[in-house]
Amino acid sequence: MATLKTAMTGAPPALKADFLCGASSSKRFPEPLAFELAFLGRSNCGKSSLLNFFLGRKNAARVSSLPGRTREINFFRVLFAKGADPFLIADLPGYGFAAAPKAVVRGWRDLAESYLASPGRRKALLLTDARRGIAAEEEMLLNLLEHLETPVVLVATKCDKLGRGELALRERELKTVLNGRAPLVLSSTLKRLGREELIKIALPEECREAASALRGKESASGGGKDPKGGGSGAERA
């Protein structure tokens, strides 16, 4: 089990993280890239903080003290390393509690679901407060993503709010509820926990390493396949 003393600091910040647009309808979705990573979860789960932490940047996504401030899907074009493939990040409106009328929140949900159902190769990061665990909203999202055949990683945020014993217990509970449906990553932006593991598990190799580095690995192992297609390289994340 990862503990709060495990500071994941090995991965450098993303080389580029450019805000593309905020889309309030499917007509405004940007052109897809070869890979897309969707961030989704309840409105008070620390989504914007985790997005900034994942990118290694302070202000890529706005962090608000009021849950439910993300009212559009915010798209970012990200380049992790020189020579790596760029990819899209989609920061989706929060589910559950939000400082907005129920009809508005339903509209955000419809927008998020229309994006998740759109064509493209993507993976989803489903965030939940470690103290809360998996409740009705998270189960709904897990079922939706399973129906859409979208790979998902469950990220337990705010792990610094739990003591070591509590965290170990919650980790076992989450894995039991997941029952193999998704890998679990423990995260704390305050304690710098989980970033490197999350990058490795969420992104395909071609999006986090330079193409020359990948070719060097394949030459050393005797392989000659293009990391972008064929075999296990097509979906390593």
Alpha carbon 93 to its chain centroid, in Å, reads 13
pLDDT in tens, 30-68: 999 999 999 998 878 888 899 999 999 877 665 544 444
Mean pLDDT, all residues of the chain: 81
Q: Is residue 150 part of a domain?
A: yes
Q: Is residue 110 part of a domain?
A: yes
Q: Is residue 143 part of a domain?
A: yes
Report the alpha-carbon distance of residue 145 to residue 53 in Å, rounded: 24
Report the alpha-carbon distance of residue 11 to residue 143 in Å, rounded: 32
Split into its structural domains, the chain has a count of 1
Indicate the pLDDT class of residue 93, thresholds 50, 70 and 90: confident
Of residues 78, 75, 89, the one with CA closest to residue 36: 89
* Residue 105: per-residue pLDDT: 65
**Residues of the domain holding 196:** 16-211
CATH number at residue 76: 3.40.50.300
Q: Is residue 9 part of a domain?
A: no
Of residues 4, 3, 13, the one with CA closest to residue 208: 13
